[in-house]
Amino acid sequence: MTEQKISEQSFVVTGMDCADCARSIEKGVGKLSGVQTCSINFTAGKLHVAGDVPRAIIVARVNELGYGVQADVENTKLAAQAPLPRAGLPGFIQFLLQRRDTTLALIGLIFILPGLLFHELLPVLGANNPLWNLTSMIALAVAGYPVVRSALRTLRINHEISINLLMTIAAIGAILIGAYTEAGLVMVLFAIGEALEGYTMQRTRDSIRSMVEIAPNEATVLRPCLDCQAHLGKEGYTGGPCPFCGIEEQRIAVTDLVVGDTIVVKPGERIAMDGRVLKGMSAVNQAPITGESIPVEKQPDAPIFAGSINGEGVLEIEVTKLAADNTVSRMIKMVEAAQERRAPVQRFVDQFAQYYTPAVVAIALLVALIPPLFFHAPFWNPDATTQGWLYRALALLVVACPCALVISTPVSLVSAIGNAARNGILFKGGMVLEALSKIKVFAFDKTGTLTAGNPSVIKVRSVNCLPEDLGCKNCDDLLALTSAVERRSEHPLARAVVRAADRRGVQGNYPAAQDVTALMGKGVSGQVNGRDILIGSHAYFDSNVPHQNNQCVEIDAASAQGYTSMLVSADQQYLGYITVADQVRESSQTALKALKAAGIETLVMLTGDNRATAQTIADAVGVTDIRADLLPENKVTAVNELLQQYQAVAMVGDGVNDAPALATATVGIAMGAGTAQALETADITLMGDDLRQLPFALQLSRAAMKVIRQNIAFAIGIKLIFLVIVLLGFGSLWMAVLADVGASLLVTLHGMRLLHWRGAQ
């Protein structure tokens, strides 16, 4: 019996203005029969449902709760179908006019103005008029309709007390005691405040959604002319590829491109697809993808990322990935998925709010009843100078609304994640952001992380070379002869020799070797112009080929520095040696110095190389601790030991060979310039393959957690202050809701600062 696959559906939900809205939808849809799991990403506006439930029923439930469904999310571009909102007051007004509920809030604002002006702000004018009570009630009815409807639906469907219900109770109570203007003000200010939260949250999403626009929707492709109308009938041509036109440029949608197509990118154009350069040379700006500030020279066979900006040359590029799988699409999917992985602090706040709201209703009820019942305090308002405890309880409901607390964390997290993504750093969730902020020690793989991972020739020394002889022809001849053999090998050291020969211009001095044979663990041999050429290790030559003592001393000194020496002979006659070493990344020393400045005192290198090689690299980059001669499983052991000692450890590696250690560490950080493996295996990916992104990521995570703590403290503090004011009888309903709206706006704007955070100055 085969296991039935669980159906999964995704939706773009509209009309959510706060995290409480998202929880109501998640709970309401989760109650449907057949739903196995239901989760909603408030910051991305996406609902994910798993289970055997017809789509129409899910949409109906979302609509029943008072929200809309925009489109099916089959690809990331659909998330940005709605136009991005403008900034400032014009943008907010435009946002209000986009939906009926928010438009009603704007209309309510207009109707409440007379009552606010003549009853609340300037009563000394003596312009009291029963008409103002009527306009206030109209404002209450218009702006409050969506709020009351949502409150009752949430109560009926989810059986829970929502923030909207708190406001509904407060407004009804204000009507009962004759405070009509305050009742209208409560509802209008709350509706405007909710819309303001939705607007600012949508502005926050721009950093993610605008990533969709990095890659163009169309590309110029080289394809044969099909069914050419100009040549139909000529020489028997009846359709299909036109034999007269040949290959021509065609402008098509990127979704119609297939792997293997050739696209043409002109100077200054954005590159539409991931691919490989076939023809042309140009400097390409990869900053939108990798965060690199300097354009990268591209030539044939070089990889290209979608979303990069071409320089001054024309490039022909072979498409290597479909539009849905290119680097931009993967980045967007990862960032949106990251928003769904909540940080521990966010989960705590969300869970706290679930119990907090019902508790507020119970406390307000006690505030309204206990003083009148047990202390003979006034329940109703006996005169204009004394507030009854019912009024204070209603004000308590308003001031205790947890909007600011609930919004304080997600807006900060999504802002930080969006900022990081724009700088070529991908976080896999808020929990990773929080975990990175607590890291005490960084462990680094050596090859491909601290070093470039591409060995280079350091020295070429012929046996007939004199130290003072610069540009020695004998050394050039030794390099040319060695490259004639090594060009037949795929070993990394062989490629280093071939590259060095090409740079010196001696690559063609000898024909490629014949009968090339790899000597396992010893070297390689071959015939060049009838001579038997042998390239081997120092140990092998010590046993098989006589060579000079002074060269032995030089080779031993090179080995002590961590270099690899390749000795060369022709017909058993020793010719000299070549030393090769992996080069330290230019960014490594700068990055590690910045980490130390950020307070990271322990920087550990984990490598499979010998101690001497590791020490050379460590001295160059500033590593404080070395663990050498490690197999992959030994790296895991080393990470576990660091975890026991420091509790929070980040491991930085290439994302593939170091996968076990990356998974073991508190935070796994992958180098990789956007490779699929790196994107999928690590908690954080440095798209630019540049360690200098690491200090920025660390400082951003710390800044984000600092902002979150400040937001939570402010949200709770402002509640406590106004709670005291209300209980002492000095507050009013409209001042309470204004304080709540103001607190929500302030924590949102404070969190949004992380979108443009650039690091400590």
Sheet holding 218-224, edge to edge: 247-253, 218-224, 262-265, 315-319, 275-279, 303-304
Least confidently predicted of 416-425, 488-497, 568-577, 720-729: 488-497
Share of the chain above pLDDT 90, in %: 21
Distance CA 292, CA 533 (A): 44
The listed range with the strongest mean pLDDT (152-156, 631-635, 742-746) is: 152-156
pLDDT tier, 17 (very low <50, low <70, confident <90, very high otherwise)? confident
pLDDT band at 82 (very low <50, low <70, confident <90, very high): very low
Q: How much is the pLDDT for 638?
A: 92
Note the pLDDT tens digit of each residue in 723-735. 888 888 887 777 7
User: In this predicted structure, which of 100-104, 219-223, 468-472, 651-655 has the lowest mean pLDDT?
Assistant: 468-472
pLDDT above 90: residue 602: yes
**Which pLDDT does position 657 carry in this prediction?**
64
**pLDDT grade, residue 5 (50/70/90)?**
low
The values of phi and psi at residue 534, to 5°, are -125, 130
DSSP string, 647-659: S-EEEEE-SSTTH
**pLDDT tens, position by position, 117-132:** 877 677 666 667 778 8
Residue 704 banded pLDDT, cuts 50, 70, 90: very high
Q: pLDDT band at residue 673, thresholds of 50, 70 and 90?
A: low
**H or E segment to which residue 171 belongs:** helix 163-176
Average pLDDT of the residues of the chain: 82
Instruction: Read off φ and ψ for residue 170, nearest 5 degrees.
Output: -60, -45
Report residue 475 CA to chain centroid gap.
50
Give the rounded percent of residues in the chain with a pLDDT score beyond 70: 85
Separation of alpha carbons 185 and 120, rounded Å: 10
In 3-state terms the chain splits into helix, strand, coil percentages (rounded to 5) of 50, 20, 30
pLDDT-derived band at 252, boundaries 50, 70, 90: confident
Would you state the torsion angle of the CA atoms of residues 610, 611, 615, 617, taken in this order, to the nearest 10 degrees? 20
Please state the rounded mean pLDDT for residues 42-63: 86
**Among 87-91, 423-427, 517-521, 727-731, where is mean pLDDT lowest?**
87-91
Mean pLDDT across 428-456? 86
pLDDT the model gives residue 126:
60
C-alpha distances (whole Å) from 206 to each of 74, 86, 540 are 20, 10, 62
User: Residue 755 belongs to what H/E stretch?
Assistant: none
Cα(306)–Cα(303) distance, rounded to whole angstroms?
10
Give the residue-averaged pLDDT of 371-399: 78
Whether the per-residue pLDDT at 385 is higher than 60: the answer is no
211 CB contacts (<8 Å, ≥6 apart)? 328, 331, 332, 335, 421, 422
Q: What local confidence, expressed as pLDDT, does residue 484 receive?
A: 92
Q: Which domains does the chain have, with CATH numbers?
A: 216-325 (2.70.150.10), 452-583 (3.40.1110.10)
Q: Is the pLDDT of residue 72 over 70?
A: no
409 is written with which tokens? 């964390």
pLDDT by residue (tens digit) across 640-654?
A: 999 999 999 999 987
The better pLDDT of the pair 613, 332 is held by 613
Asked if pLDDT for residue 196 goes beyond 50, the answer is: yes
Q: Given this model, what pLDDT does residue 71 score?
A: 56
pLDDT for 594: 94
Of the candidates 20, 261, 274, 445, the residue annotated as catalytic is: 445
What 3-state class would DSSP assign to 178? coil
Residue 283 has φ and ψ, to the nearest 5°, of -90, 120
Our answer to whether residue 445 is catalytic in this structure is yes
pLDDT of residue 438: 93
Whole-angstrom distance, CA of residue 15 vs CA of residue 18: 9
Q: What is the pLDDT of residue 655?
A: 59
The confidence score (pLDDT) of residue 78 equals: 36
pLDDT, tens digit, for every residue of 169-179? Answer: 888 888 888 77
| Residues in CB range of 572: below 8 A, 6 or more apart | 532, 534, 545
Cβ atoms within 10 Å, residue 640:
14
Residue 683 has pLDDT above 80, yes or no: yes
- The answer to whether residue 6 scores a pLDDT higher than 50 is yes
Mean pLDDT value of segment 561-580: 90
**CB atoms near residue 154 (< 10 Å):** 25
Q: Model confidence over 340-370: pLDDT tens digits? A: 555 566 666 666 766 777 888 888 889 888 9
Per-residue pLDDT band for 595 (boundaries 50, 70, 90) equals: very high
Specify whether the CB–CB gap between 215 and 249 falls below 8 A: no
* Cα(626)–Cα(614) distance, integer angstroms: 7
Token code pair at residue 710 = 């400040």
pLDDT for res 74: 44
Could you give the CA distance from residue 110 to residue 299 in angstroms, rounded to a whole number?
Answer: 62
pLDDT the model gives residue 441: 95
How far is 481 from 622, CA to CA, in rounded Å? 38
Whether the per-residue pLDDT at 636 is higher than 80: the answer is yes
Q: For residue 674, what pLDDT is reported?
A: 47
Query: Which of 29-38, 577-586, 731-740 has the least mean pLDDT?
Result: 731-740
Closest CA to 666 of 433, 468, 510: 433
More confident of the two residues 657 and 2: 657
**264 or 581, greater pLDDT:** 264
Distances (CA, A) of 414 to 206, 408, 430, 674, 752: 10, 11, 8, 21, 9
Pair 16, 25: CB distance under 8 Å: yes
Question: Cα(295)–Cα(284) distance, rounded to whole angstroms?
Answer: 5
Determine the pLDDT at residue 215.
67
pLDDT of residue 211 exceeding 60, the answer is no
Look at residue 531 in the predicted model and tell me its pLDDT: 92
Residue 736: predicted pLDDT? 79
pLDDT at residue 604 above 90?
Answer: yes
